[in-house]
A and B are shown apart, each in its own frame.
Chain A
Amino acid sequence: MSGGGSLAEWLVSALIVLGGSFALIGSWGLVRLPSLMERLHGPTKATTLGLGAMLVASVAWFHLVDGQWTTHEMLISVFLFVTAPISANLIAKVHLHRLRHGEAAEPVGPAGTPAPPSSGIDWATHEAPHEGTPGDLVGD
């Protein structure tokens, strides 16, 4: 085997092991962290650096070994980066709503329940749009 080929294999292997390690640590966080809001941080790791390293490994493999550029992997990471915060946000909002109504399937975490930002106003999960708030469809 030529020197260049083995170097490419080393690089790709290192990236795959790095990505796999982060996916594993993210899953371990899901198991051991105390409550839902903390556990939400675990999978974020797996999708960012864990998957990112594997996709870079895929690009590097096809470029260095097969000698062709592939770009689909970049699109995968772009779509993941766009969608991951939205799903995390929705899970958090449902959790906040159920905590407020005493229907939480999960216990309150060590951070407790969030206080309203200041007196007279509340978070959007608990306060429907009305006159004077953005999204009231009056001035839009």
Chain B
Amino acid sequence: MTRLLPHPGLSALLVAMWMVMVNDLTFGTLFLGLVVGIGVPLFTAPWWPGRPHVRFLPATAYVGMVLWDIIIANFQVAAIILFKPNRDLRPAWLTIPLELTTPEAITVFAGTISLTPGTVSADISACGNYLLVHALHAPDPQAEIAKVTARYEARLLRIFV
């Protein structure tokens, strides 16, 4: 089973993406989707060694939470752009210490930070232990770092195990 499906999550995602792209729910498209979904992970597995195990239920909840946060933060940043004069703006660089270790988990964490408006991840330290983030308005950088760590990193630590 693991030899035929080295990466069941990627297979499911590829089948779903194929169906969405073809936009047609028939046996023929599902069959072709399955061929892609089983074939691609099978042939690319050798180039993806040591990947972490992903727990899907918390991952789905995480995607939902991030989508909600994006909507809320959009309104906050829109308010900043429209009503806050530049002299009251407090942009700051945040150095976030990372507990995540796998490249996959750190990539998802950095992507989440960039997608939630108000913060953009700019760089990672060469040793991989710190993430450099630019915040549009952070009067209290330490509180912002604590918020991001508690809300996103703590959940990602439970997803990528």
**Residues in chain A within 8 A of chain B (CB atoms):** 22, 25-26, 28-29, 32-34, 37-38, 40-42, 44-45, 48-49, 52, 69-72, 74-75, 78, 81-82, 84-85, 88-89, 92-93, 96, 109-112, 114-118, 121-130, 132-134
Contacts and interface: CB of A to CB of B under 8 A. Distances in A.
Given A32-B81, A72-B20, A92-B120, A123 B114 contact: no
B86 A34 contact: yes
B81 A42 contact: yes
Given A37-B91, A89-B110, A22 B78 contact: yes
B126 A127 contact: yes
19 contacts: A22-B74, A29-B81, A32-B81, A38-B136, A41-B117, A44-B114, A45-B77, A48-B74, A48-B117, A75-B17, A81-B115, A85-B114, A89-B121, A109-B91, A111-B134, A117-B130, A123-B123, A127-B125, A133-B127
Nearest to A125: B123
Given A22-B78, A75-B20, A133-B128, A115 B93 contact: yes
A41 B92 CA distance: 13
Contacts of A75: 17, 20-21
B117 A44 contact: yes
Interface string B67-95: 00011001001100110001001111101
Contacts of A132: 127
A9 B7 CA distance: 43
Contact of A72 (B23, B122, B128, B136): B23
B124 A48 contact: no
B64 to A, nearest CB: 14
A123 to B, nearest CB: 4
Nearest to A92: B122
Given A84-B115, A111-B93, A41 B125 contact: no
B126 A41 contact: no
B129 interface: yes
Contacts of B117: 41, 44-45, 48
Given A89-B114, A92-B134, A114 B89 contact: no
Contact of B93 (A70, A114, A134): A114
Given A85-B115, A133-B127, A112 B120 contact: no
Contact of A133 (B71, B114, B115, B126): B126
A37 B92 CA distance: 10
Contacts of B91: 34, 37-38, 109-111
